Amino acid sequence: NRRWLPFFGTGTSRNLDPRFGMPALQEHLGKIFTNEPEWACVDAGLKAGKTLEQALEGTGAGLSQATKSRFRKVTGDYVADIDHLFRDRLLTRQAPQWVGTRLLKTLVGRLPARNPRLSVITSNYDMLIEYACSAHGLRWTTGFVGGLTRTWNWEAAQDGLLQFCVDRDNARGGLIANRVPRIELFKVHGSINRFTMDGRQVECDLWTEGAPDSVERDVAVPGGQKFEQVAVGNMDTMSRAARAQDEAQAFVAIGYGFNDPHLHQKILARVREHNCPLVVMTQDLAPAMIAELRKDGARVWVLVAPRLAGGKNDDSKTMVYMPGKADPLVLDDERLWDCDAFAEKILGG
């Protein structure tokens, strides 16, 4: 009976292909920029054991605008190439499907009739969510409207999600407008179909795999570049996402490692200050982060796959960290950390 807000992280895309993950992107960027002087400080950080995000953090002031633009292009092109491999499979509903499909279908099916909207936030650049929703008949909007090139207009996007029917309670007849059940998708780090053109942000699906030279990709590069791009080019989406977080009464984070404070700090504040439930489902999460999350409220549940010796996870089991219990519960032969299994077995979807 609560307004839930799902947050989908990189882990949901990696479930289809590990190349969607940060380690693979790190390797690809290294190959492209290895001989460029501005990459030297990043490379030094990587060789010192830092992650790509850590190595790029704070380098914004030392990178030229041209290099920043290339970062966005190379990152967007890389993700788009992998995305293309799964597009037709997802749209034609061939196995395997995107892991969040069942959860979205279940939550949308339980939306209140008066205002049936489900806010969804993702930090992913790919379009796996859009493909899954389209294939399964789930209406969705990102706030962009228009034809082949779309611009941001939230009010117009909402008007396009009205359904008109005869008012049977009115003797004179007439029509009444009802909102159709829909997903309001906030891609807070940009998207492979999002670009900057003539100083304005547009969406164009035709350009996902390659845009004209005069058009710049609008994706947030990891590290310091990520926050910069979010703050400058994606303010409409960010402000609406923040509003959705303020309105939500419960949260579920899937495949997210809590490495982007600018995205999740408002969620954790809602959990702490308003006792909102938070369910975290991911294959692996740092023990220190699990401990921090459990401090944030009395209604925080964390579901992960147990770690084995050597750092790998036992995907066949689920370790459940429950409110009020010091020690986790291990469920054998259950993959409830996988949101597809969670939606089927816990939500009955």
Q: What is the pLDDT of residue 9?
A: 96
Q: What is the pLDDT of residue 166?
A: 59
**3-state class (DSSP) for residue 47:** helix
Cis peptide before 96 (omega within 30 of 0): yes
To the nearest 10 degrees (0 to 180), the angle between helices 235-247 and 224-233 is 90
On the 0-12 / 13-18 / 19+ scale of CB atoms within 10 A, 270 is buried
Regions of the chain where pLDDT drops below 50: 60-61, 231
Q: What is the pLDDT of residue 231?
A: 46
Q: What is the pLDDT of residue 43?
A: 82
Distance CA 303, CA 341 (A): 12
Q: What is the pLDDT of residue 164?
A: 60
Residue 255 neighbours by CB under 8 Å, 6+ apart: 8, 9, 10, 11, 12, 13, 14, 15, 99, 281, 282, 283, 339
Closest CA to 304 of 334, 274, 266, 260: 334
Q: What is the pLDDT of residue 55?
A: 76
Q: What is the pLDDT of residue 115?
A: 84
The strand pairing partners of 176, in sequence order, are 165
Q: Which residues of 184-208 are buried (b: 16+ CB within 10 A; e: fewer)?
A: bbbbbbbbbbbbbbeeebbbbeebb
Q: What is the pLDDT of residue 296?
A: 84
Residue 337 neighbours by CB under 8 Å, 6+ apart: 281, 282, 283, 303, 304, 305, 318, 319
